[in-house]
Chain A
Amino acid sequence: MSVLVFFSEGWGLKILIAGLLAALIGIGAATRLSARKQYFGEILVPSTLIALSIIFLAITFGFPSEEAGPSAVPRLWIFWTCVLCGGILWQVFSGKGKPDPESGRLSFLLLIIVLLLGYYFAILTAGYFISSFVFLVLLMHILAFKRKLIIYAVSAGWVIFSYVVFYRMLYIQLPLGYFENYF
């Protein structure tokens, strides 16, 4: 029992998370190199959910133990998640599962996600309005919209709309970053 409690917090939990991450990377790499590489996502998604369940289960051992206590329901969900994910993996390995869908433009999607994350951090520093304008202009350019005037007009229009509606009318204190004194 004390071993389980060790993994429920502090270094024990960190070791468990690192171990499970390493295991997931290992599973991903092994799948890519194996004959089942077309099932990469079909294997990795349930494996990730099982790993997440194990982390959550470990944490529940740090909760006070009582009947219908704080660990009861999470453990119920964890148990069934592991059973069902096991079932999905069994489908894959017994040849009943469907292979992954055809890959689309994944690198293009990754670029958009990176841009979105950049937008998130830009909001914290440059404020919502300026970063939104830049984000919209950049994204429309990347999506190959050709009419430049419309790109700038729509981006500026959105910034003005969000300023009037959200900032002025709905009183939502949008982040202003370094430009706080100018608004």
Chain B
Amino acid sequence: MELFDSIMMGFAVLAGWKPILIIVVGVIVGILAGAMPGLSPSTAVALLVPFSYTMTPALALILLTSIYIASNYGGSITAVLINTPGTPSAAVTALDGYPLTQQGNAGKGLGTALIASTIGGAVGVLILILFAVPLARVALKFSPADYFALALFGLATVAAMGRGNVLKALTAILFGLLIKTIGIDSISGVSRFTFGSDTLYDGFTLIPALIGLFAVSVVFDKVEKWTGLDRTMGRIDSKLPSFKEFMKIKMTILRSSVIGTIIGIFPGAGATIAAFISYDVAKRTSKEPEMFGKGSLEGVAAAEGANSSSVGGALVPLLALGIPGSATDAVLLGAFMLHDLVPGPLLFRDNPEIVYGIFASLIVANIIMLFIGLYGNRMFIKVVSVPEAILYPLILAIAIIGSFAVSSSMFDVAACIGFGIVGWAFKRYGYPVAPVVLGIVLGTMVEENFRRAVIMDGYGAFFRDKLAFIILLLASLSFIYPLVKQWREHRARKK
């Protein structure tokens, strides 16, 4: 009953035209950003943070979470139409979505993606509400040692779940953690690694660093691979699957939504892994597995249901514990901080209107996305067809103004460009960028809780506190397992 009242309070936050307009704008921007190949949900949210500066914290976060949830659907538009996934997770949607287009059923493919995304998003939000609220209550009793262990576990799983070289993913995390130590130490007041510069006393400002790593680096990467060729797309509209077709895929959507949400809860797993696993499960349980990869509606539904529901899952650790579950969550955490809010159990106690406002807005955003997706796809396709020679200069212009706007500092602009170059170099040589961001975002939490635990209880704190010990053990396994796996794979290749 208390939960129901709280959710009603969340809906009260949405009363009036302004919040609804913000959700509509967020959904449109999210779909467009998701549909543009090269722009990930994290890039879209990072670029849009500056537009939320003067909004109230509740409205700003409603805008950004609406963009987040809609961008996952947006990725399916180009995946279905031109076999070019707008987001990494939409690569799975393209497996069956594009064959549908080739068969002249693009509208049905988009419609299935839309309905699966809507249901997936709703299931994700429902599980988010059911998980996050009790988890936040339990988390109120966590000690600094527990928090340190949890943050470390989050970072470890990010490295473990990532594809590619594990050593590089871990190095990327450490680079982010090291960067976060720059500035005045909050416990001792000592100035660290500032090289005598006053502007570095507060360390690097988070948002310009995020924009540099996520947006500017993408433009540099695209420019390096520049061919000058543009995408072309035909005119198309969404068409919902018939009732009979919907009944055939309804269990796939529900199952994928639950799988997606649960996978999304684990930091680092994210929408892409959720989509791949759900697709695989759907294929194994389907009555027509031979149709997968050839234009199966079930395939599209499995991928889209999972990637949209993973948003709700990924928000569980962010809202309840303050630990971002994905790169986009890390950007959202930055937005929280920008508005002087700290996600975690205290947010539920001190600012319930924001937490429940986000829950309510996610539900409303899903419904709005269904209507906008149904009637707006023709317009989105036109906008997405904007030539890259126009898009990339505009991204750079938004990045520059967005970095400056945080604290009206040209130093932040320089930092954004610098992080853009670092991000490009990292990507080029196989170091993932998202772990750098998570390292920067979680750096303070890890350090402060580690030192508090040691100051309060000595280094033995991590062994005496049972929960911290178990989580640290799991974190160690998360570090070691992928290294062993990689070593085994290498040995197998050698044989």
Contact = CB atoms under 8 A, between A and B. Distances in A.
Contacts of B424: 109
Given A112-B220, A117-B417, A91 B167 contact: yes
A80 B400 contact: no
Contacts of A145: 387, 389-390
B397 interface: yes
B468 to A, nearest CB: 15
A110 to B, nearest CB: 10
B193 interface: yes
A104 B428 CA distance: 10
B388 interface: yes
Given A68-B450, A135-B393, A143-B223, 13 more contacts: A73-B450, A77-B174, A77-B181, A78-B178, A80-B170, A81-B175, A112-B220, A117-B417, A120-B417, A123-B413, A136-B394, A151-B390, A172-B405
B224 A104 contact: yes
A145 B193 CA distance: 44
B425 interface: yes
A154 B396 CA distance: 14
Interface residues of B, number: 60
A169 B396 CA distance: 21
20 contacts: A45-B426, A59-B193, A70-B188, A72-B451, A73-B181, A74-B178, A77-B177, A81-B175, A104-B224, A108-B223, A108-B224, A109-B424, A112-B223, A117-B417, A123-B413, A158-B394, A158-B397, A169-B54, A170-B53, A171-B54
Given A84-B167, A132-B397, A108 B187 contact: no
Contacts of A108: 223-224, 226
A144 B389 contact: yes
A162 interface: yes
Interface string A74-116: 1001101100110110010000101011001110110011001
A140 interface: yes
Given A68-B450, A85-B171, A174 B410 contact: no
B153 interface: no
Interface string B169-205: 0110011011001000101101011000000000000
A106 B190 contact: no
